């Protein structure tokens, strides 16, 4: 393996593990503040960090809000993913919520066929159906105490899949930094509006109150750590390629299992691990199929 590939894999692994660290911190704040408010604080901090970088590299004019409707849809989708995952880790073991989030590659593949016109493949449908079987296995105990709320990780996975589809649609329309900034600032706006709507709805758990400074500080830390994670993943992609680093995403699940066991006493049982293995296996199968197609379409020297 080339030195660049090794470095890329390590960057990506560090990035995905950092995402699980943020999820563990979120789980530790369950019910202490409305989920939209926590997500909004996370994106406020992330937007400020990205805004400083934008001014440094592209000038003050670059801070203007995007005009493209697709850029705003990216903000809506990532907001949905963030709130879905925040609520999911509150009501479910961290490892199980993270495992179900790995439905995202299969959902992305299906959405790409529907909205991007990519050819429908039997392997994609088969992997998706098998992965859904894994989801139901993982959800087996969670339905007992969480009810339909146990499906919240699928909301998070679907939101992230929509983001990836939209990323493909807007690819090349701006710099990588600008794309990150636009997604963060639009998500921030939508989450602030969602926080206000939740407060005035009167629904229990969504009413705003002045939070303890430690909650705001932890949300701010999550914002910084998530921005760092995205940078590490980007560096990994730049050094080794998206196809090479794809399996590193499952480092996030391993980290979630470790953190859940250490800090919350959540030890996944054999059945839950079986379901997670089925979901991961389906994702790796899709990744392998994509690599095979790339190799066949590559020009011969």
pTM score, two decimals? Answer: 0.82
How far is 18 from 75, CA to CA, in rounded Å? 22
Q: In this predicted model, what pLDDT tens digit does every residue of 1-17 receive, in sequence order?
A: 566 677 877 888 888 88
**What band does 111 get if pLDDT is binned at 50, 70 and 90?**
confident
User: Residue 45 pLDDT more than 80?
Assistant: yes
User: Residue 280 pLDDT more than 80?
Assistant: yes
DSSP helix/strand/coil, 170: helix
User: Residue 301 pLDDT more than 70?
Assistant: no
Percent of the chain with pLDDT over 70: 91
- pLDDT at residue 279, rounded to an integer: 85
- pLDDT at residue 56, rounded to an integer: 94
Percent of the chain with pLDDT over 90: 30
Among 80, 78, 88, residue whose Cα is nearest residue 30: 88
How far is 219 from 214, CA to CA, in rounded Å? 9
**What band does 243 get if pLDDT is binned at 50, 70 and 90?**
low
Among 221, 159, 229, residue whose Cα is nearest residue 191: 159
Task: Say how many domains are in the chain.
Answer: 1
- pLDDT at residue 28, rounded to an integer: 92
Residues in CB range of 72: below 8 A, 6 or more apart: 66, 186
Of 87-91, 228-232, 244-248, the range with the lowest mean pLDDT is 244-248
Helix ranges (DSSP H) in the chain? 3-27, 35-58, 69-91, 94-101, 104-115, 122-139, 142-146, 152-170, 176-201, 213-240, 242-245, 251-264, 270-297
- Mean pLDDT over 76-86 rounds to 91
User: Residue 217 pLDDT more than 80?
Assistant: yes
- Mean pLDDT over 218-225 rounds to 90
How far is 44 from 49, CA to CA, in rounded Å? 9
> Are the CB atoms for 205 and 31 separated by under 8 Å?
yes
Q: In this predicted model, what pLDDT tens digit does every residue of 161-170 receive, in sequence order?
A: 898 888 888 8
Domain housing 273: 3-297
Higher pLDDT, residue 290 or 45: 45
| Average pLDDT of the residues of the chain | 85
How far is 105 from 112, CA to CA, in rounded Å? 10
Residue 167 CB burial class (10 angstroms; 0-12, 13-18, ≥19)? middle
- Taking CA atoms, 301 is separated from 11, 171, 215, 298, in Å, by 31, 29, 57, 9
How far is 88 from 144, CA to CA, in rounded Å? 15
Higher pLDDT, residue 151 or 297: 151
- Mean pLDDT over 228-247 rounds to 74
């Amino acid at each position: 393996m080339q030195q660049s590939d090794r470095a890329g894999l390590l960057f990506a692994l560090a990035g995905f593990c950092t995402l699980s660290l943020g999820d563990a911190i979120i789980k530790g704040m369950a019910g202490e503040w409305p989920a939209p408010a926590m997500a909004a604080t996370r994106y406020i901090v992330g937007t400020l960090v990205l805004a400083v970088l934008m001014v440094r590299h592209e000038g003050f004019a670059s801070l203007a809000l995007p005009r493209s409707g697709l850029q705003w849809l990216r903000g809506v989708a990532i907001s949905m993913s963030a709130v879905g995952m925040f609520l999911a880790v509150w009501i479910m073991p961290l490892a199980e919520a993270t495992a179900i989030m790995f439905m995202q590659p299969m959902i992305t593949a299906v959405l790409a066929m529907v909205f991007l016109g990519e050819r429908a493949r039997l392997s994609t449908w088969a992997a998706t159906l098998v992965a859904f079987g894994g989801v139901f296995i993982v959800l087996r105990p969670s339905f007992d105490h969480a009810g339909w709320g146990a499906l919240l990780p699928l909301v998070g996975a679907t939101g992230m899949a929509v983001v990836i589809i939209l990323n493909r649609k807007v690819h090349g329309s701006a710099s990588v930094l600008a794309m990150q900034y636009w997604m963060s600032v639009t998500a921030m706006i939508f989450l602030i509006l969602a926080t206000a709507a939740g407060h005035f709805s009167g629904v229990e758990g969504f009413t705003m109150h002045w939070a303890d400074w430690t909650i705001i500080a932890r949300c701010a830390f999550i914002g910084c750590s998530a921005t760092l994670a995205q940078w590490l993943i980007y560096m990994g992609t730049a050094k080794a390629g998206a196809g090479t680093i794809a399996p590193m995403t499952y480092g996030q699940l391993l980290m979630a299992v470790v953190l859940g066991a250490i800090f919350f006493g959540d030890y996944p049982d054999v059945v839950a691990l079986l379901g997670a293995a089925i979901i991961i296996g389906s994702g790796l199968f899709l990744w392998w199929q994509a690599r095979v197609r790339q190799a066949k379409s590559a020009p011969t020297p």
